[in-house]
Structure 1
Amino acid sequence: MTETLAPDDAGIARAARLLAEGELVAFPTETVYGLGGDARSDRAVAGIYAAKGRPSFNPLIVHLPDLSAVEALATVGPNARALARAFWPGPLTLVLPLRDGAGLSPLVTAGLATVAVRIPAHPLARRLLQAFGGPVAAPSANPSGRVSPTRAGHVLEGLSGRIAAVLDGGPCAVGLESTIVAADPAPTLLRPGGVPVEAMEALLGQPFATGGDAHRPSAPGQLASHYAPEAGVRLNATAAEPGEVLVGFGPVKGALTLSDTGDLVEAAARLFDLLRQADRLAGPHGRIAFAPVPEAGLGLAINDRLRRAAAPRP
């Protein structure tokens, strides 16, 4: 059975002990719930791939408590350091050159010479990382390719019985996975997410290129079909067609809505929960239609997730 742990000292201590024993523990971050395992343990990391049914060529993000812990594993260049100082702790993942002797399981990086690292802002995640005292590999805590979890109940829907425990910290505030960037020598956006690319471009004073390969990912979240509900998904809808559940945004009203006021922060926080709600309403033969969302700020990340949810299934 999968334990549900309270967000208190006893729950954190139990979660840290389980991680130290090579077990898997789901925990909240400000973005989504992560499925944590000791990033130094081949057994724990293999267990993450097995529990999720995740392809082994799809690398994982390593969660760490502070910049000194990052520097022990990876080389932090000037652009990466500037971004880290501005946006960490927070929903930003940096893909950095892996140091020799870093001690990570090679399964974490999927054989690449780089590692994806993040310092989460959620206070419960930070307390768990401090209590554990080591690097924690943690993709989203859901079956691979399915809708990411923003509540402990979402984790249990997909992974109950496959993992040791979930640390229940309530709903996630951001609701979208982290932005992923390769910063040096030239900044490249690998996945839009909780930090808008416009804010990073303003900080560095230069535009970001875009990169990523759906067939050979250099960072998590790049597979063409991802975040998928059971029902099919149609985008840029202004009205529901027969058999569809319309998810509205701003002036387009639906059975559910990302944000009545067109607030992108609210829409991002609600996206994955509403995908799950709409999936249940649509049933086995229905479809989900989403109203248009602007391609700016957090809208870039929202549309990225929606396009992957609507992509043909493998």
Structure 2
Amino acid sequence: MAEIATRRLGMVAQDIAQAANVLQNGGLVAFPTETVYGLGADARDDRAVARIYEAKGRPSFNPLIVHVPTIEAAKALVHWTKAAQKLADAFWPGPLTLVLPIRADAGISKLVTAGLDTLAIRLPDAPLARDLLTAFGGPVAAPSANTSGQISPTRAQHVLDDLTGRIEAVLDGGACSVGLESTILGLAGDLTLLRPGGVTRDDLSKALGRPVLLRDENATISAPGQIKSHYAPRAQVRLNAENWNTNEARLGFGDIECDLNLSTKRDLTEAAANLFEFLHRLDAMNRPTIAVSPIPDTGLGIAINDRLNRAAADR
């Protein structure tokens, strides 16, 4: 793959217009959402979508999320349901992806869905992302803007350090506020949590007035973020560390001496926002292991532990 000159763009209208033009011409643009930076391409363009997989080294069986600027744009792509409307009213724009049956006339590249008859779709909350989607005027496929399986990017510099030479542009909108990828909920059949994220399972059940099922971890991949080894730094990851070993990079939680602390106040929202940024920093210390304090497996902690377990999985 020939090296590409990667441009760093800002937040003004001229930068957004340049980024939209890149997308319209089949290029790749990384842009900030409230969750992580996404690597965007025109979801209707087979060649552009194929370039996402190439740039990331992403397996072709792993589907992509499509980002849209409005609920009406989502309805044009999928078969909308009453449950989808309830969830959109409660959580959109925001860190929730819905998986619904795709319309036959959606015009979405089959590479986006990885051959499935469903589409993962989201309306992001970050203003810069919505401005870009509106300026582009079409659906944008956008997984996280990083090499597949590695730590997700929450700052423009993370993207530039990883993907410079493989993509056309990065829109720099500062740090992502949520810091974890979106929750993914399957609505094509049983209501099933396909990936935990910023909207908790309890939040979803409350909005729907009925329980949300958990995905069988041994089931076939049906949404992004389900590969066992994912979000991994170069260092090995040791979880639930009650004490530290020699020459470890130490990621703490709560009142503990460490190299970086996700939240001294044990605030899970703060911890989620810091997780990937701190993993990037600790990995740069070039120690063989990153040890991580125990994280409560409740609320947003479920999503944090999901990412940490995949980061620590055998590679």
- TM class, shorter-length: over 0.9
Instruction: With the length of structure 2 as denominator, give the TM-score of the two structures.
Output: 0.97
Instruction: Work out whether residues 231 and 287 of structure 1, in 8 Å CA contact, stay in contact via their aligned partners in 2.
Output: yes
Which amino acid in the other structure matches residue 110 of structure 2? P
Which amino acid in the other structure matches residue 254 of structure 2? G
Instruction: Work out whether residues 173 and 269 of structure 1, in 8 Å CA contact, stay in contact via their aligned partners in 2.
Output: yes
Tell me the SS of whatever aligns to 2:290. strand
Match status 1:264 vs 2:268: yes
Q: Distance in 1 between matches of 2:93 and 2:150?
A: 26
Q: 2:302 aligns with which of 300, 303, 307?
A: 300
Instruction: With the length of structure 1 as denominator, give the TM-score of the two structures.
Output: 0.97
Query: Which position in structure 2 is the counterpart of 1:234?
Result: 238
Structure 1: which 5+ residue stretches go unaligned?
A: none
Query: Which position in structure 1 is the counterpart of 2:104?
Result: 100
Q: Distance in 1 between matches of 2:291 and 2:233?
A: 12
Q: Distance in 2 between matches of 1:156 and 1:17?
A: 20
Query: Which position in structure 1 is the counterpart of 2:152?
Result: 148
Q: 1:2 aligns with which of 2, 6, 12?
A: 6
Q: Distance in 1 between matches of 2:30 and 2:95?
A: 17
Q: 1:222 aligns with which of 218, 223, 226?
A: 226
1:17-51 Cα distance to aligned partner (Å, 9 max, x none): 00000000000000000000000000000000000
Cα distance, 1:240–1:223 mapped onto 2, change above 3 Å: same
Q: Shift of the alpha carbon at 1:131? A: 0.3
Instruction: Work out whether residues 63 and 135 of structure 1, in 8 Å CA contact, stay in contact via their aligned partners in 2.
Output: yes
What value does the CA root-mean-square deviation take over the aligned residues? 1.1
Which amino acid in the other structure matches residue 303 of structure 2? A
Instruction: Work out whether residues 215 and 223 of structure 1, in 8 Å CA contact, stay in contact via their aligned partners in 2.
Output: no
1:111-153 Cα distance to aligned partner (Å, 9 max, x none): 0000000000000000000000000000000000000000000
Which amino acid in the other structure matches residue 196 of structure 2? P
Q: Shift of the alpha carbon at 1:193? A: 0.5
Cα distance, 1:110–1:205 mapped onto 2, change above 3 Å: same
Structure 2: which 5+ residue stretches go unaligned?
A: none
- Show structure 1 runs of 4+ deviating over 6 A: none
Query: Which position in structure 2 is the counterpart of 1:191?
Result: 195
Q: Distance in 1 between matches of 2:10 and 2:72?
A: 29
Q: Which moved more, 1:265-274 or 1:197-206?
A: 197-206
Query: Which position in structure 2 is the counterpart of 1:274?
Result: 278
Q: Distance in 1 between matches of 2:234 and 2:216?
A: 26
1:148-172 Cα distance to aligned partner (Å, 9 max, x none): 0000000011100000000000000
Match status 1:174 vs 2:178: yes
Q: Shift of the alpha carbon at 1:207? A: 1.9
Instruction: Work out whether residues 36 and 139 of structure 1, in 8 Å CA contact, stay in contact via their aligned partners in 2.
Output: yes
Q: Distance in 1 between matches of 2:49 and 2:187?
A: 26
Q: Distance in 2 between matches of 1:189 and 1:287?
A: 31
Q: Distance in 1 between matches of 2:205 and 2:219?
A: 27
